[in-house]
Amino acid sequence: MLALVQRVSRARVVVDGATTGQIGAGLLVLVCAEQGDTEAQADKLLAKLLKLRIFSDAQGKMNLSVQDLDGAGTQGGLLIVSQFTLAADTSGGNRPSFTNAAAPADGRRLYEHFVAKARAAHPVVQTGVFAADMQVELVNDGPVTIPLRVAPVL
């Protein structure tokens, strides 16, 4: 599985003119399941995401995770959005191929698993709508954008 993580001051997802998810400071997480991915990989990706130290501490160093913010008097949110286009392969030309992306049923299952586990582990979790045409608005803080990928769990 892979994710593109953006540290944000605020972010929201709009579907058909209605806001489906919105956070203040925290992480916008674009998540993609690839063929052959498992729940174990989703769990590993979430664990890495929750411990990723990309928020500033009192000295201004990126030393705090989104979970550390809760202990610092601020609740950092997670806005989790499915994005199969992260699996794009552009090596064959100018038109991306998405053959590496999981089939829609598998992608939905892994996305829903990831979101459920995130909600169990973190107090502020919002989402987009799987397979919907979404508009994602964000203010990237920094900017800080980090790609995450987890290999199969053996």
CATH number for the domain that contains residue 39: 3.50.80.10
Q: How much is the average pLDDT of 36-63?
A: 96
Question: Residues 19, 35, 85, 135: which is the catalytic one?
Answer: 85
- Does any domain span residue 53? yes
- Does any domain span residue 128? yes
- Does any domain span residue 151? no
3-state secondary structure of 19: strand
Over the stretch 12-25, which tens digit does the pLDDT of each residue have? 999 999 999 999 99
- Does any domain span residue 152? no
User: Is 90 a known active-site residue?
Assistant: no
Q: Is the pLDDT of residue 61 over 60?
A: yes
- Does any domain span residue 153? no
Over the stretch 99-108, which tens digit does the pLDDT of each residue have? 999 999 999 9
- Does any domain span residue 150? no
State the average pLDDT for the chain. Answer: 94
- Cα dist from 86 to 56, 63, 83, 91, 119, whole Å: 27, 27, 6, 14, 23
User: Is 75 a known active-site residue?
Assistant: no
User: Is 83 a known active-site residue?
Assistant: yes
Full domain range(s) for residue 23: 2-142
What is the value of pTM for the model shown?
A: 0.95
- Does any domain span residue 11? yes
How many structural domains does the chain have?
1
| pLDDT for position 151 | 84
- Does any domain span residue 111? yes
Question: Residues 6, 55, 84, 114: which is the catalytic one?
Answer: 84
